[in-house]
Each structure stands twice: as C-alpha cells, then as structure tokens.
Structure 1
C-alpha cells in the first residue's frame, strides 16, 4: 500500500527581509492529512514568517508550497480561501460587532455560490463546535480573552477549510483557557498547523513537530522523536524532565527553567 499524499508539502523554502537578512533558510517538510503540526523554536527563529508563507500570505522566493498537490502560489485568493483559513495574533474586530456576524465573515469566500441556508448552517455549526453558541448575540468586545480566541477559530472553521493555520492561539491565555483551546483544536478533525511556545504541552496534542533554530529547520517528526532532552537543551537552553503522571498511564514533560537569584542584599 502507498502512503497517502500529504496535504501540505514545503520544498526548499527561503525568505529574506528587504534589508537582506535571512528570515527562513531552505526549509522542507510534509504534513500528513489530519495531522496537527506544532511549530516551535526560540524567538526570532522564523516561526511567524514560515507560517505566513506556507499559508499563502507571502511571496515565495525561492521555494514551493503545495496544497493537495497544487502549487499554492498559483491558486487565486478566492479559491485558496476555500481550502485555507488563517488566524493571526492581531485579530481585532470592532467590539460592537455581534459574535454571530463576526463568525459569518468566514463565509465571504463562498458567498454567491451556495444557498443562504448553507451559510447560516455553517455559522451555527462553527459556534456549536467552539461552544460559543450562547454568545451569538453578544458584542465581541464583551468576550473574555479565551472566548475571543474561540471566536477567531469559529470564524476560521466557518469557512470549512481543509487546512487551518493558527499563530500562537494560546498566547496570553490562562492555563485553563489554554487547555480548552488545545482541546478544541484536537477535536476539529482537520489538518492544523500552529505556532506554540509551550513546549511541554506539545506532546499532549500534536502529531507532528517542526523545530526551528536560527531560521533553519532543526528537526521534524513526531513529538516523541523530536522533543528529546538533548534537542531541548541545545535549542532552547533549558532542561526537559519527563515524569510519570501520578494517576494516569502517561508521561508528563516539565521544563526546568533556571531563575537567577541575587543573594547580595
């Protein structure tokens, strides 16, 4: 049997800033259909640049990104929006906008092609999937940080995308909200590529991991294969400690982050 074709293929991808600085350097990998790929790396490694490029939001020079075997750069924006959804860090809609109306913005690429009832059903399904239906009439500005992140994801999945890109979806959220967002992502059942800073959480939800270091791809593969204590030490400069869960048959990953204490008073 042949392995299924990857939904996303990245080949020889590089990118430079206008001043010539290298932002991404010769990166290649493939994402399996239905996978959750976590992109990790130190600040300045190129994570956000990579995410924007592989989602079609930047010019590829050089390199190639293929979505379901098709060159992403050659897909018209409207057609690309039918397959790809992107949630960035700077999503800031008008606070007076009703949540339901905000989520409905995800249907814009499909307007005029489907009956109105299909659009209403898609919005209702997105609100239900993110457990936000009770806030449908609420102004966006009254939502909490975790609720706003769920709203952004609801708008994205209202597109019915085949591939969802998320730029640090758990950033600035408390631990409980982070867990709920990651649980939501796992339950979507579609291919997801996201940037994550919480390295210790990655084995709990991701099926694939890409670790960037100084604009290059240091490692790619399953979380168990990639996130070794040695790699974490080399790339992030901290120790990874793995301990048995006290009440479940699984291993927990803990980062030992050193804190300097000034003992001179």
Structure 2
C-alpha cells in the first residue's frame, strides 16, 4: 500500500476580460491565472488487492460519486491504465465552493496528474490538458501548473512570470454560480484584449464580472465596499472571493486584522 499527500492549489484571476460570446454560448476571455500556495489537501492511497482500479472518494457531503469531478477525471484515464491499482482519495477542503478559486477544477487536475503517473497511463502534459478541458474550462490551467495568460474559454495558456505579492483572500458568506453571472444581461461582453506587455501592468487588472456580482450579491458588495475604503480590492473569477494584494507583509497583516471584522479571510504570504 502506498499513500501520497499533496496540495491541490487554489487560483485567483488577476484579470478577467470578456471579449465576446460565441455561437455555442461560451465566452471568449482574456484572463491571468495566478496559482496560490494554498488549497485543499488530497490524500491518494493505492492498493492492488484485486487490480481493477476501483476509485473511492471521501471528504464531500451530499455529492454523488458520479457527479464528483475527481471521479470523472479518473474515468477519463481508465482506458489508458497500464498498472492497475485501487485508489482511495480523501479530500480535506479549504477552498470554498462557489468562491471563484477553482477548487473543484484543481481537485480534478491533481487527480489527472497523480493517477496518470501511478496508473502508468503515460499521457503527456499536453494530452492531459486536452483531457482536462472536457471537465471544465479552467481545469487545463491546473494541469499546466504555472501562472499563465489564458485566452479562448481559458484553455489557451501561455506561461507568465507575475510580480511576487502577499495575497489576502476575503470570503463573503455566500456562493456564486458561474453560469448565472455569464447569463446576466448586465455582463459586458465586448471588452478589448490587452497586449501581453500590458498584462503585467496592474492598471490592466479589471474583472468584467465584478459589476454584475456586486449588483446581484449584497453580501459581496458589503465586504467589497468596506475593504475598498482603504485598499484596491479584486474579484477572483466570477466570485464570491475577493482579494487584496500587498508588497509589504506588515500592511497585509494590518489589513487582515481589519478584514476579520467583516468576513472570514486568509492571508497567503509570498514566497520569494
């Protein structure tokens, strides 16, 4: 029996521009994904008692196995298994559901990467990324595992080196459904893309979903308005998580103390 413990990381979107809506209903985007040094803990335990690669998952309440992206990821790999092992996957969640941090997508991508190696599937990163897109638009990014500029629906990825920042995550007490935001008639869908050179300029870091989310979710607006008095506040993805970036750790700690009065929060210290 072998066990592997790993972190399935969260992400934030430093920028999210909605360029247009395609005929199939999906939206063309330009976004900047930043991986966070924080996320869910995933424990993979392997045994070969009967060698038919059964998958069991714990850590989720009221979620059917077949609806879990982790299970769906494992099923995509099944035709490629060369070294069968049963696997029990235990997930200790830290990333809030509906928070715009990519928790489910990250879990799926981590599963693809770990099982690809231990089931001997021998798929390349590019093949795993193509497979990941079947599970969700931002799952390929977590397989890519590097800060990236993304286009298309989020699947066309170019590596990018982002400024090192401390990140304060703010968690309003609600969840946001991505589909609801993208269906909203108030969403601006004709944003202009910026050049790769300007992507690193913080003045380009806008999120077209922010006005919609603030309009539709009073709890998020309350936290946003409160924090915005002193800081530049960003929305990750379609929300609900807000975040603030800092160069100075003392300022980040000060902001965390203030934020704790209005919502749950978590500070991720930068690693130089």
Interval of TM-score (by shorter of Structure 1 and Structure 2): under 0.3
TM-score, with length taken from structure 1: 0.26
Q: TM-score, normalised by structure 2?
A: 0.26
